[in-house]
Structure 1
Amino acid sequence: MLKSASVSNLGTGRVVYVSGTPFEQGRQLGAAAADLIVENVCAASALLPNLDSGFDPDVYAAMTRRNEAWVARVYPELLEELHGIAEGAGLQYEELLHLNLNTDVAYARAYSMVFDCTQVLVSSSATADGNTYLAKTRDLSRGPVRQLLVHREFDDGSYRNEIQSAGQLTLPVGVNSHGVAVGTSGQWSKRVVVDLARGDAAWHIPNLQPVLRHARSADEALEMVREQPRVAGMNMMLADTHTAYALEITADQMEVFEPEDGLLVRTNHYLSPALSELAPTRDENPGTFDRYARAREMAVARRRQIGVHDLVRLMSDHAKPPKQSICRHGHDGAGRTYAAMVACPQDRSLWAMFGNPCEGIQMVGQPGE
């Protein structure tokens, strides 16, 4: 007898509690959020190129199946959970692969371009209470936008709190029971090249599911990410109770940064001189520079006094046009904020806002909370 998930609505998303094996968790997740997952599956399929562009769906499907065979060898838990979601949500298993496996160059480019997120990490030396906090928005212009706040409990007694795009398992952000927190933001320019020849045996972008499942420290998480084969990169933040990093990741490089005066800020461009050629220019993506400058300005102004309320205020910030806001409502035609979070490694809690962060907040913590 498979257990049912505990579920409640939150803004434009949903809060789901699941437990058990990967298949059981998938089945519970699928049953609890079937409508949101179906919506995201349809949106992911719409990102695929049209046939007029020369896109061959049979070639694409064959590539996906080759990637699936590789995943079955290196991380079968992902496929087990997808089978569970398919059963719980009444979907075909194959429909979920668009959200989790595909490494087609056009799809990778489309996906990387829609993640216009903002991340701020404040380590213990910069906060009022001595805790570390990792805050991020999830900003999207198209594709899967429905979000879930998921509390997972595993048979070994461990757990994690995550935000995921409903049905997309490879890009969770949040914190695990070991106190390791993970956040992400996309990075794309026309100079980023995706090598399809590597697509059969690599992740589309780093797969954070095994990182949040198994990492016991930020250092261990860093090495897990470094070792993953991938065809595209991103910006990432990692933190535990003592250590914090910003990672600037490409298909074959990773630049690592530590906090300066207790702060790290990343949006959608690389800061490393070694990766500058791959970063968008201000003309190509002015919004990433606007949000980076404003987030850093607000964090610096409150350094050593920062609490969760300051980070919520930061993620709720509205700029005067033509500058791009951190909290985006879609008025600029380039995207809007669909979720935001604040994760704390010390108490393993995750505060979540679905919809714009200026509209509300919810928290999940340790089992029983």
Structure 2
Amino acid sequence: MKLHVHGTAYEQGRQLGAAAADLIRENVRQASALLPNVESGFDPGAYTAMTRRNEAWVARVYPELLEELHGIAETSGLEYFDLLHLNLNTDVAYARAYSMVLNCTQVVARGPATADGKTYLAKTRDLSRGPTRHVFLEREYDDGSSRLEIQIAGQLTLPLGINNYGVAVGTSGQWSSRVVVDLARGDQAWHIPNLQPVLRCARSADEALEIMRDQPRVAGMNMTVVDSGHAYALEITSDEVRVSEPSDGLLVRTNHYVSPALEHLTPTPSENQGTFDRYARASELANAAHKSINMQTMWQILSDHVPPPKQSICRHAGAENAGRTYAGMVFCPQDHAVWATFGNPCDGVQYKLAA
């Protein structure tokens, strides 16, 4: 589904809720179904109280999120608290239950690596459990800012997109049994990084980097951020951000940290062999096309398949809980454009939009 929404955050929420109610309702159902599957000790009362305390903090630091959720609730027929659950990502909802869900691949090529000197950020969104329903948004705000956004419908805190300044972001999860979530800090922090402020406010990749450094959080992830002149890979933990720049114009990230300083948090091959398979394959393909990369090259990387038992970049439904690719996208800051599909990238580009 592709939608154009405009106005205030509340007004955009009303438009999103009216148009995508069925998708959002299914995502709420899938997210709620995860709760009984979390580690022992789940207490619904404590979960609700934690979410409400976090809501009070969000109301102070980023009220736009709650305003949009109220708008969605009004027109979708969904309960506001269910939307909070989908967005505040409390420990039970994300850091444990979702820990192995976001198995995605990111590739950045710029400058000397590309045929035209432009910058490209390519990404798959791979999920092994819900929520899985997506929507493509064109957002326009009253202050003149805008962005193109791929969103898990109703989950506003994890947008993938590009804004009117040409700042684009991508993400992939990073989990191992050694990642510890400190819930004592959870009342006044994001439970995973919130990418909304980056796409809403950042005028450059450097500003995006500072926003993420300053953001309180209790869990991390891998993130890429680019503009027309710069590109960074951010390895985010609960208390630090490790930054890497492209090597000869290329960056690849999957679901493990690359920085030696974070090696103790990286999954082992027995915990997640697929992240190492996809990292090696994406690096191989990007290096093989060095100096000649364009949008089509990046899409070919996202569409790549390898024989089992190695894990492909473009993943199809197979064994239970093994994960599959639900979306693919390529952003270009110079063109203020995104090419995207909902489903497997090997099926081809479904949308092309320019901001």
Match of 2:67 in 1: 80
User: Structure 2 counterpart of 1:350, which letter?
Assistant: V
Q: Deviations over 1:150-203 (max 9, x none)?
A: 110111111100111000000001110001010000000000000000010000
- Asked if residue 291 in structure 1 is aligned to residue 273 in structure 2, the reply is no
Q: Deviations over 1:198-247 (max 9, x none)?
A: 01000011100011000000000000001000010000001111010000
Q: Deviations over 1:252-284 (max 9, x none)?
A: 011100000000000000011100000001121
1:47 is paired with a residue whose SS is helix
How many Å separate the matches in 2 of 1:332 and 1:131? Answer: 39
Q: Is the 8 A contact 2:327 2:343 kept in 1?
A: yes
1:113 is paired with a residue whose SS is coil
- Asked if residue 346 in structure 1 is aligned to residue 334 in structure 2, the reply is yes
2:238 is paired with a residue whose SS is coil
C-alpha RMSD of the superposition: 1.3
How many Å separate the matches in 2 of 1:34 and 1:259? Answer: 40
How many Å separate the matches in 1 of 2:330 and 2:299? Answer: 8
How many Å separate the matches in 2 of 1:206 and 1:76? Answer: 16
Note the C-alpha offset of 1:48: 1.1
2:98 is paired with a residue whose SS is helix
Q: 1:50 to 1:119 in 2, by over 3 A?
A: closer
Match of 2:18 in 1: 31
Match of 1:4 in 2: none
- Asked if residue 337 in structure 1 is aligned to residue 297 in structure 2, the reply is no
Note the C-alpha offset of 1:330: 2.0
Deviates more, 1:355-364 or 1:113-122: 355-364
Q: Is the 8 A contact 1:122 1:264 kept in 2?
A: yes
Q: Is the 8 A contact 1:67 1:102 kept in 2?
A: no
Q: Is the 8 A contact 2:31 2:93 kept in 1?
A: no
Residue of 42, 45, 56 corresponding to 1:55 = 42
How many Å separate the matches in 2 of 1:38 and 1:69? Answer: 24
1:241 is paired with a residue whose SS is coil
How many Å separate the matches in 1 of 2:308 and 2:39? Answer: 37
Match of 1:42 in 2: 29
Q: Is the 8 A contact 2:101 2:128 kept in 1?
A: yes
Q: Is the 8 A contact 2:89 2:192 kept in 1?
A: no
Q: Deviations over 1:92-116 (max 9, x none)?
A: 1111011111322574122231000
Note the C-alpha offset of 1:50: 5.3
In the TM superposition, 1:71-220 aligns within 5 A as 71-105=58-92, 107-220=94-207
Q: Is the 8 A contact 1:354 1:360 kept in 2?
A: no
Match of 1:364 in 2: 353
Q: Is the 8 A contact 1:37 1:167 kept in 2?
A: yes
Q: Deviations over 1:321-361 (max 9, x none)?
A: 00001000122441000001101111211111101111131
- Asked if residue 222 in structure 1 is aligned to residue 209 in structure 2, the reply is yes
Note the C-alpha offset of 1:32: 1.1
Q: Identity percentage over the alignment? A: 71
How many Å separate the matches in 1 of 2:318 and 2:18? Answer: 34
Note the C-alpha offset of 1:52: 9.6
- Asked if residue 248 in structure 1 is aligned to residue 235 in structure 2, the reply is yes
How many Å separate the matches in 2 of 1:52 and 1:257? Answer: 34
Match of 2:343 in 1: 355
Q: With structure 2 as the length reference, what TM-score do the two structures score?
A: 0.97
Q: How many residues align?
A: 353
How many Å separate the matches in 2 of 1:274 and 1:309? Answer: 35
Structure 2 unaligned segments of length 5 or more: list them. none
In the TM superposition, 1:304-319 aligns within 5 A as 304-319=291-306
Q: 1:178 to 1:119 in 2, by over 3 A?
A: same
How many Å separate the matches in 1 of 2:213 and 2:92? Answer: 22
Note the C-alpha offset of 1:54: 3.2
User: Structure 2 counterpart of 1:167, which letter?
Assistant: G
Q: Is the 8 A contact 1:120 1:263 kept in 2?
A: yes
How many Å separate the matches in 1 of 2:288 and 2:85? Answer: 42
Structure 1 unaligned segments of length 5 or more: list them. 1-13
Q: Is the 8 A contact 2:35 2:92 kept in 1?
A: no
